[in-house]
Structure 1
Amino acid sequence: MKEVIITKANGQKAVFEPYKVESTCVRAGATKEEARKILERIHPKLYPGITTREIYRLVLHFLSDGVNQAVKHRYRLKESIMRMGPAGFPFETFVGRVLEHYGYRVLSIGAKMQGHCVQHEVDLILESSQDDRKWLVECKYHNMPGRYTGLKESLYTHARFLDLSDMVDREMLACNTKVSDEVVTYAGCIKQRILSWRYPPQNGLERLVEDKNLYPATILGLSRREIEMFSRQRLMIAKDLLDVDINDFVRKTGISPKRILSLQKLVNQIIG
């Protein structure tokens, strides 16, 4: 396959790596054969300087043609997480809900805590069910692709942790983007846990979501109003929609029963 130089979301140039498209499609549920066919179809449309956003749209276009539609929705995981913030879908609440499935209890969200020096508003306080240690979690959300979470966020998370060290035992920085190399180095030095997109390499945020079907409700292709209604009901995880009382949910959100049943069907396809 001919080498093509592409433009990443942050403006940097890079060599197009076909295996990334193929592996992402497979993780979303496509077969290896389907993933290879998609790669074969997008390759003739590549040109020097093509953006990763354009490649993403090409993949979505070809996923719409002959592939299980649930795969297309799962492929849009990163985009779905980025849809949270603008409509008031709190990223920190989503992170808490995900980590509840991995041995943590959420003790508080957005609580004000008095430190040695100043008062802090802390995104999350978690307790590990394994050792009862309390974790301070700072959540950094970006709604634009190509952004990295940098050293500044890691530094202020650690500073906050130090000021609250009488009340918490460990610290974590959680974000929906990739982190810089400086963050990885610094966090490793001070024993700060990082949970981000693709980091840790085999246990990043996307893997935690995929491994236990913890897809955000925004993956269902909701309208802005529907996202707002789901947020008000604190329904963050798509599969939680399967457990709602439909009549009660209709009354509280104004969303029609037909639409809710349709969304529940889609949820079953996505997590199936």
Structure 2
Amino acid sequence: MNAKQIIVTKNSEEKEFYSEDKLRASLRSCGATNNQIDVIISQINAHIYNGITTNDIYKKAFSILKKFDRTFASRYSLKRALFELGPTGYPFERLISALLKEKGFKTKVGVVLQGHCVTHEVDVLAEKDGIAYAIECKFHSDSRATSNVKVPLYINSRFLDVQKHWNGNSNNGTHLKQGWLVTNTRFTKDAVDYGKCIGLTLLSWDYPKGNGIKTNIDSYGLYPVTALTTLTKKEKQQLITRDVILLKELYYNIQVLQNLNISANRIRQTKNEMGKLLHYDTFTNGTR
């Protein structure tokens, strides 16, 4: 059967035609060369069948990528690495806070703010140039989850309550201008339309186009420890429980791996993988 006629099953149970172009684009975005991409697609096409899941295609591609270059595999698995930050939303909030710091904001995670009517816990409070922003993070462990219009409706009502009290308090040195809503999955069209209408900034895996979470993580090197291929899932979860969320944190706190009784050889492998992902020169103490 022609590969273009193959039906694949998505995680959402939806069916779609297998797209070699889509697979090629995702492999190219993680750094694989054209020759490597050709090899991967050739091997996948040789074993593809009607009804194959996107998860099975991913696993096959990931396995071959690891043999070429572990950093390619790490980038390719980034979306899944975000899901593995759970089950709580705190590590994801820390990642978003780190992203905003890279953009010049001062941030605080998990701040309780007084509203006009009631108190609210704000996931990330960001401030820059005299302007404050209240950011709500919606973390999902399930790739099928989306944020529909009900979510920004709720978030905006909370923001307006906090904004009324904040801007009416002369002791605050900043003006609370805007609310943000961030998710590691996707927004429905209604959610996006509503956000645009009321001025609520939305950020998801691939929204805004060309400036979503994936693009920002790649741009600033904010890879989570769950993206590492040299550590086991258990070891990565142990790092998260120690509040080591990002590779940039682990790179300069490598003794944490020793505390987990990881061998010196695997620690070297892990640091090498981190150095490549972060574009650090491991022989000059991690300067870019």
* TM-score computed with the length of structure 1 as normaliser: 0.88
User: Secondary structure at the residue paired with 1:2?
Assistant: helix
Q: Contact 2:89–2:139 at 8 Å: present in 1 too? A: no
Q: Who is 2:36 aligned against?
A: 34
User: Secondary structure at the residue paired with 1:110?
Assistant: strand
Structure 1 pair 37–262 and aligned structure 2 pair: CA distance change class (3 A): closer
Q: Contact 1:250–1:256 at 8 Å: present in 2 too? A: yes
Q: Who is 2:59 aligned against?
A: 57
The reply to whether residue 235 of structure 1 matches residue 244 of structure 2 is yes
Q: Who is 1:121 aligned against?
A: 121
CA distance in 1, matches of 2:153, 2:137: 13
Amino acid at match of 1:205: I
Bigger shift: residues 69-78 or 262-271: 262-271
Structure 1 pair 254–211 and aligned structure 2 pair: CA distance change class (3 A): same
Identity rate, percent: 30
CA distance in 2, matches of 1:203, 1:116: 34
Q: Contact 1:88–1:228 at 8 Å: present in 2 too? A: no
User: CA shift at 1:174, angstroms?
Assistant: 0.7
Amino acid at match of 2:144: G
Report Cα offsets for 1:121-154 as digits up to 9, x if no partner.
11111113xx331111110111112222222222
Stretches of 4+ aligned residues off by more than 6 angstroms: none
CA distance in 2, matches of 1:150, 1:190: 15
The reply to whether residue 109 of structure 1 matches residue 109 of structure 2 is yes
Report Cα offsets for 1:42-63 as digits up to 9, x if no partner.
1232223222111111211222
Question: How does 1:260-271 map onto structure 2 within 5 Å?
Answer: 260-271=267-278
Question: How does 1:78-227 map onto structure 2 within 5 Å?
Answer: 78-86=79-87, 90-106=91-107, 108-128=108-128, 131-166=129-164, 167=166, 168-221=176-229, 222-227=231-236
User: Secondary structure at the residue paired with 1:91?
Assistant: helix
Structure 1 pair 245–68 and aligned structure 2 pair: CA distance change class (3 A): closer
Q: Who is 2:169 aligned against?
A: none
CA distance in 1, matches of 2:195, 2:214: 20
Runs of 5+ unmatched residues, structure 1: none
Q: Contact 1:89–1:227 at 8 Å: present in 2 too? A: no
User: Secondary structure at the residue paired with 1:270?
Assistant: helix
CA distance in 2, matches of 1:146, 1:88: 17
User: CA shift at 1:190, angstroms?
Assistant: 0.9
The counterpart of 1:2, out of the listed 1, 4, 10, is 4
Q: Contact 1:81–1:218 at 8 Å: present in 2 too? A: yes
Q: Who is 2:283 aligned against?
A: none
RMSD, matched Cα: 2.2
Amino acid at match of 2:161: D
Amino acid at match of 1:139: C
CA distance in 2, matches of 1:226, 1:89: 18
User: Secondary structure at the residue paired with 1:267?
Assistant: helix
CA distance in 2, matches of 1:220, 1:21: 21
Runs of 5+ unmatched residues, structure 2: 167-175, 280-288
CA distance in 2, matches of 1:104, 1:52: 38
CA distance in 2, matches of 1:254, 1:33: 38
User: CA shift at 1:18, angstroms?
Assistant: 1.9
Q: Contact 2:95–2:222 at 8 Å: present in 1 too? A: no
User: Secondary structure at the residue paired with 2:111?
Assistant: strand
Amino acid at match of 2:187: V
Structure 1 pair 44–93 and aligned structure 2 pair: CA distance change class (3 A): same
Aligned residues: 265
CA distance in 1, matches of 2:270, 2:88: 19
* TM-score computed with the length of structure 2 as normaliser: 0.84
